[in-house]
Chain A
Amino acid sequence: MREQIEVIVAEDNVVQRTYMRRLIENAGVTCFKVIEAEDGQAALELLKTSRAEILITDYQMPGLNGVELTRAARSLDLGRYVHIILITGTDMGGYDVRADALNAGADDFLNKEKDPTALKARLRTAMRLIHHGKELEEQHRAMKEANDRINEDLAAAAHAQRNLLPDINTNILGAHVASVFVPSSVVSGDMFGCFPLNDSQIGFYAVDVSGHGIRASLMSVAIGYLITPEFFTKSVLDEDGIPRPARLVRELNERFCTDAHDDYFTMLCGVMDTRRVKLFFCQAGYPSPYYVDANGNATPIGDGGFPVGMFSGVDYEDGNIGVDLDGMLLCCSDGAFEAENNEGIPFGEQRMEEIVKQIYHEPADKVPEKIVKALADWRGRKPLEDDLTVVAVKRNMR
């Protein structure tokens, strides 16, 4: 059953008021509860203390007239809408009271003549609007509640994903590892890991799942949990302790290849070997990382490789390069190169190499944030369209 709608009738003439009450009560709509107000001020007070949603007011009253009452009612902060119907005489001596009342916020008008059918029609309209408003409000509330819950869940997921990542700044076996991780939405399809394998080798990987957002993040987190230091060590190091990162990539490829969907990921997997003074790596569709020598010369390394989880049975190759003291490895996800400015021009490799030249001498922990800053300047107001990861690994053993 619908709840009762309270109706305030503001009318200084007691006969008219009683008549109006009767009309409303006999309008054949049982859900109205009439509250009488003997003038505008009393009606205003009743609006505050009752739950009235309809106000029917005469124009001529001592103190506040109908238009003034309407204006005063609209300035109240009631937390509900009040449907206001103004009753006017036919002869107002040339004064357009209706225009004035409309400006003040009245919803409808009635002539002062006795017309029960017109009143009934106005009340029905008011009732329909009130119910409709309540339904909308309820829908809005339910949607907001659902939305809040989703956002809370997402924030929790983002927190869990963050916790999977290594410290933003960390020293491992005399190498300084610094990273920045910027999701394009709350959660990210990027993943990154870095850990010592033993007392002379540092293992690292960066992953970028195709697409972005929640769907991509599910896979990136699964990968993050899968590639533990133990898994990495077992897959990558051969019997002689020589790093073969392609073995790990091959293993992941067979594990993630399925015809069920088109999702895949690109990956860079590597080992910084401090004893052999070399970087061993396997590139699987991930943008070529830069090796930056002690003089700031940035060289892209690797000539490509298949993404992981796209084609079963494809092969992956190992590569290696020598690493100087103070040499730096810099990995950026494609979100960096593809970041577009206002004119739709991507940041690209050339600009990246110029930035690297300017900042290579900085300590490792300053490098990722400076690149993120340069990308933000480039994009201007354009939001990041893809997840962004920047990792700098600097040998610093002086």
Chain B
Amino acid sequence: MIHTTQADAGITVVRTGMERLTAINSKAFKDGIVELIDAGNSVIVIDFTKTNFMDSSGLGALAGVLKKIGHRGDLAVCGLNAEVTQMFKICRMDRVFSIYADEAAAVRALSEKT
């Protein structure tokens, strides 16, 4: 469901494997990332390039991940398609998530911060 690689500067890049992040798989998605956080990965990029639909449960899980990381690290998302971007905008998620066009931009931004 998620594929993890390590970028430079202690940044963990997570690529989602599912086309749809919904009530059906959002808990497993969150559990997978929480496991990474608990294992000490506190700077994370989630790449949603493969995901073309996210429902309200999916957004809830993602917000849960953000709250879990809290002040101990950083989270960035990238690869959002037009529909997901629109949903983020209506829910003002663009004000709480750091959003980048792609992985490279996200990793660059996070490594400059740290």
Nearest CB on B from A318, distance (A): 15
Check A386 against B90 for contact (C-beta < 8 Å).
Answer: no
Does B1 have its Cβ within 8 Å of any Cβ on chain A? no
Per the 8 Å Cβ criterion, residues 23-65 of B in contact with A are: 23, 30, 53, 55-57, 59-61, 63-64
Q: A229 in the interface, Cβ–Cβ < 8 Å?
A: no
B60, A210: Cβ atoms under 8 Å?
yes
A346 touches B83 (CB 8 A): yes
Whether, in the assembled complex, B92 has its beta carbon less than 8 Å from a beta carbon of chain A, the answer is yes
B56 to A262, Cβ gap below 8 A?
Answer: no
A338 in contact with B55 (CB, 8 Å): yes
Are the C-beta atoms of A262 and B63 separated by less than 8 Å? yes
Interface residues of B in 56-85 (CB under 8 A from A): 56-57, 59-61, 63-64, 67, 83
A311 touches B56 (CB 8 A): no
Decide yes or no whether A40 CB sits under 8 A from chain B: no
CB-CB under 8 A from B61, the residues of chain A are: 262
Given known contacts A264-B63, A346-B83, is B57 in contact with A210 (CB within 8 Å)? yes
Q: How far is B56's CA from A80's CA once the two chains are assembled, in angstroms?
A: 50
- Verify if A224 is at the interface (C-beta below 8 Å from B): no
- Contact of A304 with B by CB under 8 A: yes
**A259 adjacent to chain B (CB < 8 Å):** yes
Which B residues lie within 8 Å of A220 (CB)?
A: none
Given known pairs A262-B61, A263-B60, A264-B63, the reply for A211 and B23 (CB within 8 Å) is yes
Chain B positions near chain A (C-beta within 8 angstroms): 23, 30, 53, 55-57, 59-61, 63-64, 67, 83, 89-92, 95-96
CB pair B91–A304 under 8 Å, yes or no, is: yes
Contact: A305 with B23, CB < 8 Å? Answer: no
**Contact yes or no, B96 A288, CB < 8 A:** no
A residues 254-280 in Cβ contact with B at 8 Å: 259, 262-264, 266
Q: Assess the B96–A285 pair: CB atoms within 8 A.
A: no
- B1 CB → nearest A CB, Å: 17
Q: Which residues of A contact B55 (CB under 8 A)?
A: 338, 386
Task: Give complex CA distance A14, B99 in Å.
Answer: 91
- Interface size of A by CB at 8 A reads 28
CB-defined contacts of B90 to chain A, threshold 8 Å: 283, 285-288, 304-305
18 contacts between A and B (CB under 8 A): A208-B56, A210-B60, A211-B57, A211-B60, A259-B67, A262-B61, A262-B64, A264-B56, A264-B60, A266-B91, A286-B90, A305-B90, A305-B91, A306-B92, A307-B91, A310-B60, A311-B67, A311-B96
Bound CA span A310–B95, Å: 13
Q: When A212-B23, A311-B96 are in contact, do A262 and B60 touch as well, CB less than 8 Å?
A: yes
Evaluate contact between B92 and A304: CB separation under 8 angstroms.
yes
A200 to B44, CA, bound (A): 52
Smallest Cβ distance from A253 to chain B, in angstroms?
A: 12
Residue A334 is within 8 A (CB to CB) of chain B in the complex:
yes
Interface of A is mostly: loop
Complex alpha-carbon distance, A210 and B23, angstroms: 9
A contact residues vs B (CB 8 Å cutoff): 208-213, 259, 262-264, 266, 283, 285-288, 303-307, 310-311, 314, 334, 338, 346, 386
In chain B, what residue has the closest Cβ to A386?
A: B55
Minimum C-beta distance from B72 to chain A (A): 15
Please pick, from A283, A286, A310, the residue contacting B63 in the complex, using a CB distance under 8 A. A310
Residue from A210, A213, A314 in contact with B59 in the complex, judged by beta carbons closer than 8 Å:
A210
State in angstroms the CA–CA spacing of A209 and B57 once bound together. Answer: 9
CA distance A212 to B58 in the complex (A): 12
Q: Closest A-chain residue to B94, C-beta based?
A: A304
| Complexed CA–CA distance, A287 and B53 (Å) | 16
A-side contacts of B60, CB under 8 Å: 210-211, 262-264, 310
Residues of B within 8 A of A212 (CB): 23
Q: Report how far A266 CA is from B56 CA in the complex, Å.
A: 9
The distance from the CB of A249 to the nearest CB of chain B, in whole angstroms, is: 12
What residues of A have a CB within 8 angstroms of the CB of B56 in the complex? Answer: 208-211, 264, 266, 334, 386
Q: How far is the CA of A305 from the CA of B87 in the complex (A)?
A: 11
Return chain A residues, CB-CB under 8 Å to B91. 266, 285, 304-307
| Distance from A93 Cβ to chain B, minimum over Cβ atoms (Å) | 64
- Min C-beta distance of B97 to chain A, whole Å: 11
| Contact yes or no, B23 A262, CB < 8 A | no
**How far does the alpha carbon of A210 sit from the alpha carbon of B60 in the complex, in Å?**
7
CB-defined contacts of B96 to chain A, threshold 8 Å: 311
Which residues of B are found within 8 Å of A288, using beta-carbon distances? 90
Beyond A307-B59, A310-B60: 13 further Cβ-contacts under 8 Å?
Answer: A211-B60, A213-B23, A259-B67, A262-B64, A266-B91, A287-B90, A304-B90, A304-B92, A305-B90, A306-B92, A306-B95, A311-B67, A386-B56
